Amino acid sequence: DVWRVAASAGISASFAGAEFPANAQGPTSEEPLVVLDVETFAGLEYRRRAYAEEAIRAILSVPLAVRGRTGGGVTFYYRESQPNPIDVMIAQALGHLAAAAISSAELYAEQEALQRATVRSASRARFLAELSERLSSLDDARNLETLATLTVPTLADWCIVHLLDDSGTLRPLAVVNADPEKIAMAREYGARYPMRRDHPSGAYQVVRTGQPVLIEHIDEQRLMAAAQNDEHLALLRDSGVHSLMLVPLTAGESVFGVMAFAMAQPGRGYDRDDLAFAQDLARRASLGVENARLYRQAQ
C-alpha cells in the first residue's frame, strides 16, 4: 500500500521514515528513473517540500525486479550534482546485484520452509499412526486421556481435556504436561480459579458456538483480561503459555467437551495449519467417544 524505506545512508531519519502511497512516483517500471531537477519534474509535487528540506537536487532510481516482480527500488539522491549516463549504468548494475541477492534469500527461505513442512508432515503422520493403534479401547475417557498424553510434546506443552457435566460445567478429565509437579499445580489452581463462562475467547465460547479458538500470541493485555485477580494474573504469567488452541469435541451437532492445546516454550507457536490438525484430532477423538457410547448402549 505504501513505499517505505528499508535501508538508507546519507539522509535524515525524518526523510527516511516518511511513507507515501504506492501509486505515487516510484521505481515501478523496468527502466531507471532519472530526475535532473526535482523542482520541475512532473509527478513529484507531493515530495518537493521534503526534497527542499533535505537539499536534494536530483534523483536516480532503479527498480528491484525480484523473480519477475517489481516491489522496490534503489534510489540515489544528489545534492550538489546530477546523475550522468555512467551513474545510470552503475546504478542499474547495483540494482541487478541487489535483486539477485534478495531472490537468493527468498529461495533459500522457501526451501527451508518446505523442509520444515516436510518434517512436520512426517512427524504428524507418525503421530496419527500411533494414535490409531492406541485408540482401540471402547473406553471413551481412556481414549481422550490417551490422546492428550500423546500430544505432549509433539503438538503441545500442555494439553487439557474438559468435558461438560449435567449442569453444563466444564470439568477437567485429563491434564497433561511433561512435569508432574506442574500438573498438580494446574489442577489446584484450576479448582481455585474456574474458567469464566463469559470469557469472549475461552472454552465456554467454544461450547456456545461450536467453533475453535486460535490465539497465536498471548500478550499482556489478554492475560489481564483473563485474570480474576492479581494472584491469578501472576500465575498466568508464571505459566509461560504464549500460544493457545481450543477445539470442540462434538457428538452430532452437540458439543460435549473442549480440548485445549498450549505452548509454553519460547520459539514455538500455533498457526492455522496447527489449528486444522488439532481439529482433525478432536474429530477423531469425538468419533472414538461416540463409538464407545454406542457400544455401551448396544450392550
Q: CA dihedral defined by 165, 166, 168, 173, rounded to 10 degrees? A: 0
Q: What is the pLDDT of residue 102?
A: 87
pLDDT band at 209 (very low <50, low <70, confident <90, very high): very high
Which helix (DSSP H) or strand (DSSP E) does residue 131 occupy?
helix 85-134
pLDDT band at 25 (very low <50, low <70, confident <90, very high): low
Range 49-60 average pLDDT: 94
| Alpha helix segments (H runs only) across 135-242 | 140-151, 180-192, 203-209, 220-226, 230-239
The overall average pLDDT reported for the chain is 88
**What are the cell numbers at 290?**
461416540
Q: How far apart are CA 237 and CA 143, in angstroms?
A: 31
Q: Is the pLDDT of residue 193 over 60?
A: yes
pLDDT band at 206 (very low <50, low <70, confident <90, very high): very high
Cβ atoms 246, 202 nearer than 8 A: yes
* Cα–chain center distance at 245: 12
pTM (global) more than 0.75: no
Q: Is the pLDDT of residue 28 over 80?
A: no
The amino acid occupying position 65 is A
Question: pLDDT digit string (tens) for 262-296?
Answer: 999 887 899 999 999 999 899 888 887 887 777 78
Q: What is the pLDDT of residue 203?
A: 95
Share of the chain above pLDDT 90, in %: 47
pLDDT band at 136 (very low <50, low <70, confident <90, very high): low
Question: pLDDT digit string (tens) for 233-249?
Answer: 998 998 899 999 999 99
Q: What is the pLDDT of residue 22?
A: 67
